[in-house]
Structure 1
Amino acid sequence: MSTSFNYDYIIKYIIIGDTGVGKSCLLLQFTDKRFQPAHDLTIGVEFGARFVTVDGKQIKLQIWDTAGQESFRSITRSYYRGAAGALLVYDITRRDTFNHLTTWLEDARQHANANTTIMLIGNKNDLENKRAVTEAEGKEFAERHGLYFMETSAKTSENVEQAFVKTASDIYNKIQSGVFDVHNEAHGIKIGPMHSGGGSSLPIGAANGGGACCQ
């Protein structure tokens, strides 16, 4: 069992998208493997953390779940800085959340690192009978903007694990190829105590920040 200090890298993530698309539920499903249908709106940001293994390396994902309301947008923007990975989430049953993706992506590209790995997530694919955005539309948007793409269900857990592990793997590959400088914290990566060749990291709490969620 991993301890709080038994890892090779810490990678910072941010989850962005309109309110009510399931950002908090994706985080809760990934960190706690549970679904919470009753929810309060996220106020500002919430935090969660979990370990994953990529190419034999223990990686601690430090995930910031942001509020989708316009009134919190200035707070959200401050969390783009230093994020190595981002999940851009829309609700497949609400076309307006898909239509707003361009604005979210522009924000991410403006405020995040140019090499940040971004995955487009079409959430709530368990609600197929209420679908308003086709999977093909999601894929086309992702391809046009150079993003990874998956449809997920925070309720059934479909593809939730894969979304985080896939992006973590891409970030790890960027570390190995020198795209990310692990000695520059602005890149959203810190070297952990288990990293071969040494290095140090600030301890970061792994407490999950509250129960805000969404159906």
Structure 2
Amino acid sequence: MIAKKVLLVGNFGVGKTSLIRRFVLNQFSEDYISTIGVRVSSKVVLYENKEIKLLIWDVAGTSGDEKIPKAYFLGASAAMFVFDLSREETYLTIDNYLESIRHLSGLKDITIVGNKKDLLTKEELETVIETISVKIDLITSAKEDENVESAFLQLASQAIK
């Protein structure tokens, strides 16, 4: 079995921890508990007939202008940038955020996930997708368990490239 360090990064309150809890424990809670620093979880996934142990680093959210310690990025095989579809401030400066992540991690490809789909109507979602300057890889809802597994499997596929 191979182990791969993967990162979840993004602004505070976008649902990084909720996505991880849904994926690892199949649980969801409405309670917001801010991550301080970094929290590491793990789960073994089967991808292309290989067992991969994902070491999932839940990096504390920022308000966008704070710097994330470079040490968190060392040795990362893949990263997922999570934003909140219902909060414009979490995706307006997405280009700058992604550039910073690429610089700190050395990773070229970053999985981009819009979370909290359950908070938007179909029309609102379409407007958000048109507004965002980068290609969104997946639209998820940790609450409704929509595309969560797919997001982490995409991360696993990136990690073994």
1:171 partner amino acid: A
CA contact (8 A) 1:44 1:75 kept: no
Q: Hey, what does 2:36 align to over in structure 1?
A: 43
Structure 2 gaps of 5+ residues are none
Please tell me whether residue 123 in structure 1 is matched to residue 120 in structure 2. Answer: no
- Tell me how far apart the structure 1 counterparts of residues 157 and 15 of structure 2 sit (CA, whole Å): 23
Please tell me whether residue 23 in structure 1 is matched to residue 11 in structure 2. Answer: no
Q: Hey, what does 2:141 align to over in structure 1?
A: 153
Q: Hey, what does 1:170 align to over in structure 2?
A: 158
Structure number with higher relative contact order (C-alpha < 8 Å, ≥ 6 residues apart): 1
- Aligned with residue 84 of structure 2, among 84, 87, 91: 91
1:93 deviates by 0.6
| 1:164-198 Cα shifts (integer Å, max 9, x gaps) | 102212332x2xxxxxxxxxxxxxxxxxxxxxxxx
| 1:30-59 Cα shifts (integer Å, max 9, x gaps) | 110110111221111111110100111110
Larger radius of gyration: 1
Q: Structure 2 vs 1, CA of residues 73 and 46 (structure 1 numbering), >3 Å: closer, same or farther?
A: farther
CA contact (8 A) 1:77 1:107 kept: no
Structure 1 gaps of 5+ residues are 1-7, 143-147, 175-215
| 1:76-109 Cα shifts (integer Å, max 9, x gaps) | 4321221111110111111110113222212111
- Tell me how far apart the structure 1 counterparts of residues 63 and 139 of structure 2 sit (CA, whole Å): 25
- The number of aligned residues is 159
CA contact (8 A) 1:28 1:34 kept: yes
Aligned identity (percent) is 35
The alignment yields a C-alpha RMSD, in angstroms, of 2.3
